[in-house]
């Protein structure tokens, strides 16, 4: 198959009307189609004839639709020519060129601009960049022991290249705007920030003013750099909020076997608000009770009857016999005298 051209199409120049109406070249449609089908992988990949395009004098291109999958909007371009005063068309070239609305590959970019975070896999190695703007030369010992000790041992600058201010700013911006910054969904839903968590390991240098490393194994950010205003549900100083039970409340139980004794008479007297003279327990007590409290009025009458009955019971005097008072009531018949019974007959 002929090489597929990536150009937008042949350069169109102004040609005369006589060249655009070249009868020999414009009429060679079958010749152009046969040339396109010979180049295509399958003859069916060449579709309908779309027209002609005059390139120069005695040079015309025939356009055919492309029916191959994945080449929507592309067209077969077959260029024909003839010699001056010639009556035979000759095939110059056959190309597959993109037309209006054709699907094209994105513009080529070098790998340094095309590479994105996460593209490097296991075993992949990046080429060395000598002019990386994110790095700058490391610390060169000066001979001063005190100064060299601070730069090499404390600041860890004894490397060929170290992070430049541009690289540090880019890293801070990337970390803060990423999934471990304050705008992450987990940080927004958390109740406390990482700055007050006991599992936070601070960083040294300028980045330590805004970032630290999480050391909580229960946190999804364990071993990751997080911003101080980040947050998660594994904070060391937070607790679970009280949550009511998910079970429905039980129905109230009514105990119908228990009797609650209420002193309704005393309660009715106390509710009257007047402390009058003491009344005789033998006299009935009239208590005004609202209409909706009818059961309370009947209970007061029963209580008054009980008090009246108790007041009529007389107890025997000390030292007296209880024979006269034994019995079930005042209407009991006394027993017969003892002499009326026959002494010789046993009792039956």
% of the chain surpassing 90 pLDDT: 37
pTM of the model: 0.43
What's the pLDDT tens digit per position in 48-103? 999 998 888 889 999 999 999 989 899 999 999 999 888 899 999 999 999 888 88
**212, 226 in Cβ contact below 8 A?**
yes
Q: Which helix (H) or strand (E) holds 302?
A: helix 294-311
Q: Is the pLDDT of residue 342 over 70?
A: no
What's the pLDDT tens digit per position in 235-293? 999 888 887 888 888 888 887 777 777 676 666 677 665 544 444 445 554 545 444 44
Report the range out of 141-150, 269-278, 299-308 with the highest average pLDDT: 141-150
Q: What is the average pLDDT value for the chain, to the nearest integer?
A: 78
Which range has the worst mean pLDDT, 7-16, 173-182, 259-268? 7-16
Q: Degrees (nearest 5) of the Cα angle 327, 329, 332?
A: 65
| Region 210-236 average pLDDT | 94
Q: Give, in order, the Cα–Cα distances in Å from 16 to each of 20, 81, 300.
A: 7, 16, 128
**In this predicted structure, what is the pLDDT of residue 258?**
76
| Region 227-242 average pLDDT | 90
């Amino acid at each position: 198959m002929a090489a597929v051209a990536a150009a937008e199409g042949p350069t169109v120049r102004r040609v005369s009307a006589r060249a655009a109406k070249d009868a020999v070249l414009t009429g060679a449609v079958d010749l152009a189609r046969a040339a396109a089908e010979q180049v295509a992988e399958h003859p069916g990949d060449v579709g309908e004839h779309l027209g002609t395009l005059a390139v120069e004098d005695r040079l015309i291109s025939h356009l055919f639709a492309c029916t191959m999958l994945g080449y929507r909007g592309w067209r077969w371009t077959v260029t024909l020519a003839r010699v001056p005063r010639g009556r035979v068309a000759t095939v110059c070239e056959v190309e597959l060129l993109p037309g209006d609305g054709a699907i094209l590959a994105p513009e080529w970019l070098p790998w340094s601009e095309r590479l994105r975070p996460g593209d490097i896999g296991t075993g992949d190695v990046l080429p060395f960049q000598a002019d990386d703007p994110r790095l700058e030369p490391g610390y060169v010992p000066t001979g001063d022991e005190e100064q060299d000790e601070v730069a090499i041992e404390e600041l860890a600058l004894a490397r060929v290249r170290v992070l430049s201010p541009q690289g540090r700013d880019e890293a801070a911006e990337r970390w803060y705007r990423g999934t471990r910054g304050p705008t992450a969904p987990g940080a927004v839903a958390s109740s406390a920030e990482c700055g007050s968590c006991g599992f936070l390991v601070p960083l040294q240098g300028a980045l330590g003013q805004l970032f630290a490393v999480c050391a909580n194994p229960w946190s999804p950010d364990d071993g990751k750099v997080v911003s101080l205003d980040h947050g998660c549900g594994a904070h060391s100083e937070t607790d679970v909020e009280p949550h009511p039970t998910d079970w429905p409340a039980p129905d109230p139980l009514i105990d119908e076997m228990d009797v609650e004794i209420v002193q309704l008479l005393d309660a009715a007297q106390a509710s009257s608000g007047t402390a009058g003279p003491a009344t005789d327990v033998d006299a009935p007590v009239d208590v005004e009770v609202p209409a909706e409290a009818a059961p309370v009025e009947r209970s007061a009458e029963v209580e008054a009857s009980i008090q009246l009955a108790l007041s009529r019971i007389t107890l025997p005097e000390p030292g007296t016999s209880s024979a006269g008072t034994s019995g079930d009531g005042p209407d009991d018949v006394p027993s017969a005298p003892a002499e009326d019974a026959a002494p010789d007959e046993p009792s039956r």
